[in-house]
Amino acid sequence: MKLELHKAPVRSLRFGPQTTLENDVLVINQQELQALLLEDPRLAAVTVDLAHPGESIRIMPVKDAVEPRCKLSGGNEVFPGFIGGVETVGQGATFVLEGATVLTTGRLVAPQEGIVDMSGPGAAYTPFSSTCNIVLGLTPREDVTLHEAEATCRMVGLKAAHYLACRCKAAKAARVEHYAFPPLAEAMAAHPGLPKVAYIYMLQSQGLLHDTWVYGVDAKKTLPTLISPTEIMDGAVISGNCVSACDKNNTYVHQNNPIIKALYARHGKEINFVGVILTNENVTLADKQRSSSYAVKLASMLGVTAAVISEEGFGNPDADLVLNCVKAESAGIKTVLVTDEYAGANGASQSLADSCPEGTAVVTAGNANATIVLPPMAKVLGDPAQADVIAGGFFGSLRADGSMEVELQAILGATNELGFNKIGAYTI
């Protein structure tokens, strides 16, 4: 499979009479976009606002982030199972509005979701303070069920992202990235002497607001499976969760998975990157055993000598991470784990809910319990009152002056376990 990503930069946003890309400015017909989204009968209202890096704007509670993309060629459309049909994606050419993000906001339940500050100390922790954001304020109708409301919010974000890209796809891309994923027989024979490496990609799949979708299928109802990284770039994996904001993998992060990019960057030089194995994080112990065994079985069938394993969320997913690690190491596959920590505000408590002696190579994305005071912003898109019930907040988080004290957990992407975050460490 070969995929080209045609990336057109977006450096600013404004409303205008026609949705188009003009000199790196994404012009949006606000009424047209609103009307499109309100075609969903489950929505009572939708607002469209714009937020740029450096502005005094707070966005909360954020549900999903989506990068605008659409297909130029290759068949089907992006976000298969939702926008596109269910046919295979990941080949041909895909248009990308790089630098733009659709952020969906609205209240579903508490405690969920997250904060994006476009300036101030909070901005340093979220990658979405650096993008030009199209912020959708969503109000589902009162008579729809919670399941329907969640599905509506999820679908609206994808629809808006696809609409924006489609309207601009005639624009010339500033650069084209090329990705290839060869047939397995070819991949197995390639780069003799380099270690074969697979990526075991764990997806949240525990229930309402804790789910992920693969080609439109609820990940909790799937067995681990092989997938081309190019399919993931085309939106084959969709976030259906509004869980812990700091370490949920929103759709944008799936589209731009940095672990996949890093494996590609080392492919043919240090390693032979031979595949991505999607697996889930179900709640039942039987599912955890089944999925971990099956994922490692697939890795063994590929004959890999090492695997990178990334987690999503915390708490009982820590058990999935450990099971994947133990079983892989027992099968002779070296592992590198990517996770984050809940080690208390001072970092002195137990970081993970589970552990194992085999887990000797672990990358942390940071301590989600570290606290931060977010100063008041001139403008809030969404509902600041959610600070008291947002995951990472507490009763009393929101102060009278509009500032709030929260844990990093409340900030979207602060400790993202794919490494799509701003916290890092450098060897000096």
330: contact with another protein by CB under 8 A: no
Q: Which residues are catalytic?
A: 242
Contact map string, positions 350 to 369, toward another protein, x by CB under 8 A: x--xx---------------
Task: Kindly indicate which of the ranges 1-9, 83-91, 168-176, 284-292 contains the residues binding another protein, using the contact rule CB under 8 A.
Answer: 284-292
User: Counting contacts by CB under 8 A, is residue 426 touching another protein?
Assistant: no
Amino acid at 363: V
Burial class of residue 30, CB neighbours in 10 A (0-12, 13-18, 19+): middle
Structure tokens at 20: 């188009």
**Could you tell me the smallest distance in angstroms from the CB atom of residue 41 to another protein?**
19
By the rule CB under 8 A, 415 interacts with another protein? no
Task: Indicate whether 244 belongs to the interface with another protein (CB under 8 A).
Answer: yes
Q: Which is nearer to another protein, 68 or 392 (CB)?
A: 392
Asked whether the beta carbons of 24 and 114 are under 8 A apart, the reply is no
Decide whether 272 or 415 has the Cβ nearer to another protein. Answer: 415
* 3-11, 33-41, 257-265, 386-394 -> range binding another protein (CB under 8 A): 386-394
**CB-based contacts of 299: which residues, under 8 Å, 6+ apart?**
198, 200, 277, 307, 328, 331, 333
The rounded distance, in Å, linking the Cα atoms of 311 and 338 is 6
CB of 306 to another protein, least distance (A): 25
- Helices 30-37 and 146-168, packing angle to 10 deg: 140
CA geometry: angle at 138 spanning 134 and 142, to 5°? Answer: 175
Map residues 139-158 to x or -, x wherever contact with another protein holds by CB under 8 A.
------xx------------
Q: How far apart are CA 81 and CA 79, in angstroms?
A: 6
Give me the least distance between CB of 294 and another protein, in Å please: 14
Rounded CA separation 158/212 (Å): 14
Spatial contact of 56 and 119, defined as CB atoms under 8 Å apart: yes
> Would you tell me which residues interact with another protein (CB under 8 A)?
109-111, 145-146, 204, 206-210, 220, 243-244, 247-248, 281-289, 313-319, 342, 349-350, 353-354, 389, 391, 394-395
